[in-house]
């Protein structure tokens, strides 16, 4: 059995990809990638990254994430984030993160999240941003994000938060 190798590439890398072939088991995430991701990238509303799985002579999309800058209202964040925050705090939103169904139960999702946090940490060095927000989109994913250091504010149970400085510590571990 030949092992797969993985690499991350930007959706706007001028390379044709069959976005419709991706299947994470959730039609909302599948459809967003196939129908909206390219236009979001072209419009500049999100940066989309694809995890490409290579095996022998073939390649396929194994996962993806999308990030964009955002403003976070102070009162929507967990109270432990309030110190030093202005009424609207600059941040980053992980708009989508999905892994192919065939990789469920592996560490690929955690690695993809790590890559998203790296991109956000580097971007915050250049353009600022204090908070990372993720809308889990699926109540089953809330526990997974909490396990990876995100915090709930209790207001919207699917919206979770992490400080950028916490992400930096997470990346060192």
Q: What is the 3-state secondary structure (H, E, C) of the chain?
A: CCCCEEEEEECCCCCCCCHHHCCCCCHHHHHHHHHHHHHHHHHCCCEEEEEEEEECCEEEEEEEEEEEEEEEEHHHCCHHHCCCCCCEEEEEEEEEEEECHHHCCCCHHHHHHHHHHHHHHHHHHHHCCCEEEEECCCHHHHHHHHHCCCEECCCCCCEEEEEHHHHHHHHHC
pLDDT value at position 75? 60
pLDDT value at position 150? 93
Residue 10 CA neighbour count, 13 Å, CB half: 11
Structure tokens, 91:
């941040």
- For residue 49, the cross-strand partners are 10, 65
For 52-80, the pLDDT digits (tens) are 999 888 999 999 999 999 877 656 555 55
- Asked whether the beta carbons of 95 and 66 are under 8 A apart, the reply is yes
For 142-169, the pLDDT digits (tens) are 999 999 999 887 766 788 888 888 899 8
pLDDT value at position 130? 82
pLDDT value at position 170? 79
Q: For residue 2, count CB atoms less than 10 angstroms from its CB and return exposed for 0-12, middle for 13-18, buried for 19 or more.
A: exposed
* Higher pLDDT, residue 50 or 83: 50
Model pTM score: 0.88
Residue 115 CB partners (closer than 8 Å, separation 6+): 8, 49, 51, 65
- Asked whether the beta carbons of 91 and 120 are under 8 A apart, the reply is no
Report which of 21, 121, 116, 117 is spatially closest to residue 62, judged by C-alpha positions. 21
For 80-133, the pLDDT digits (tens) are 555 655 567 888 999 999 999 999 889 999 999 999 999 999 998 888 788 899
Structure tokens, 161:
């938060």
Structure tokens, 111:
């690695």
């Amino acid at each position: 059995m030949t092992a797969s190798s993985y690499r991350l590439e930007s959706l706007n890398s001028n390379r044709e990809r069959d976005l419709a072939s991706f299947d994470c088991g959730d039609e909302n995430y599948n459809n967003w990638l196939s129908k909206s991701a390219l236009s979001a990238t072209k419009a500049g509303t999100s940066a989309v990254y694809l995890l490409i799985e290579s095996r022998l002579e073939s390649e396929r999309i194994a996962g993806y994430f999308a990030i964009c800058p955002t403003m976070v209202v102070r009162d929507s964040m967990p109270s432990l984030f309030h110190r030093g925050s202005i009424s609207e705090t600059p941040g980053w939103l992980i708009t989508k993160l999905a892994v192919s169904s065939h990789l469920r139960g592996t560490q690929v999702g955690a690695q993809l999240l790590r890559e998203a946090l790296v991109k956000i940490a580097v971007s915050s060095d250049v353009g600022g941003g204090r908070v990372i927000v993720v809308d889990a989109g699926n109540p089953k994913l809330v526990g997974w994000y909490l396990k990876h250091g995100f915090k709930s504010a209790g207001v919207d149970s699917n919206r979770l938060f992490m400080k950028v400085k916490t992400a930096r510590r997470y990346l060192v571990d």
